[in-house]
Structure 1
Amino acid sequence: MATRNTLHVEVVTAERELYNGEANLVSAPGAEGQLGILPRHAPLLAFLSPGILRIELDGAEDSMFVSGGFLEVSHNSVTVLADTAEHADEIDQARAEEARRRAQERLSETRNDVERAELQGALERAVSRLKVVEISRRRGRRRIDMPTSQD
């Protein structure tokens, strides 16, 4: 339950729940720019762009890649409905680097505007995934301990 200094956060995709707990701060890649959500934030509904979603709680941090989706803030609660999402430690860096390289090569060769837009999206997703890994390594913060469910 959210306290005066925290807010409740849920991050879900169609396949799974990535986070369900408290936070002091949520930083998300909004379609109009980076969003910073603190406890008692005003109600908000926003589109998400591919990028880094950060959740901070008492000096610990969870960083994850989101490929897009929606973010809703209501009643001291943040719900992220992501198209796809991965924790930093789940990202295969070599695979993401290969996807970045492949998108860059194909982008330089294409003359079709539709294909160019698709490749730019693929490049943006690959670069964002690599940034999540790099930021997570550089910061070296401990990951937020998720409470275990008790049935």
Structure 2
Amino acid sequence: MLNLRIMAPNRIVWNSDIQEIILSTNSGQIGILPNHASVLTALDIGIVKIRLNDQWSTMALMGGFAMIDNNNLTILVNDAEKASEIDYQEAQETFQKAKTNLEEAEGNKKKEIEALLVFKRAKARLEAINMASKL
């Protein structure tokens, strides 16, 4: 088992033993099982899949860092939301608005960067819900 602790600035999001986790890093996805080599990696805005008691849970992570050492996985994130806590209708509306804002920001570099971050967050939330419904 892996001891997983996910911490946001204002709360502990997850703190328990798990069987497996799949994270979105800046260079792609990484799967972590017990006895994984020590790693420190940056996390991208995206989804995380956690396997506990042979059941998968999904969560939207808003970027951060992960460190694994001796079967202890510590994840520091800007924010995180469990798929079960995300309202589908609100997530869908936020995604559509973010998509429109991203398209409208084209040509203005600063607005494009800001709109892209909002879009990636909205997309991660929606993907977490959609993936949870398939598991």
If the length of structure 1 is used for normalisation, what is the TM-score? 0.84
Tell me which residue corresponds to 1:146. none
Q: 1:147: which partner in 2?
A: none
Match in the other structure for 1:132? 128
SS at match of 1:50: strand
Q: Does 1:113 align with 2:95?
A: no
Give the secondary structure class of the aligned counterpart of 1:64: strand
Equivalent residue in structure 2 for 1:40, among 13, 35, 44: 35
Matches within 5 A, 1:1-150: 6-110=1-105, 111-139=107-135
Moved over 6 A (4+): none
Give 1:61 shift.
2.2
Give SS of 1:68's match: strand
For residues 103 and 53 of structure 2, the distance between their equivalents in structure 1, rounded to whole angstroms, comes to: 45
Gap regions ≥5 residues in structure 1: 1-5, 140-151
Gaps (5+ residues) in structure 2? none
Deviation at 1:52, TM superposition (A): 0.8
Deviation at 1:51, TM superposition (A): 0.8
Number of residues of Structure 1 aligned to a counterpart in Structure 2: 134
Q: Which has the higher strand share?
A: 2
SS of 2:134 mapped into structure 1? helix
Rg bigger for which structure? 1
Partner of 1:143: none
Let me know the Cα RMSD of the aligned residues: 1.1
Moved more, 94-103 or 48-57: 94-103
**SS of the counterpart of 2:37?**
coil
**Cα displacement string for residues 109-144 of structure 1 (whole angstroms, at most 9, x for unaligned residues):** 2220111111112111111110100111111xxxxx
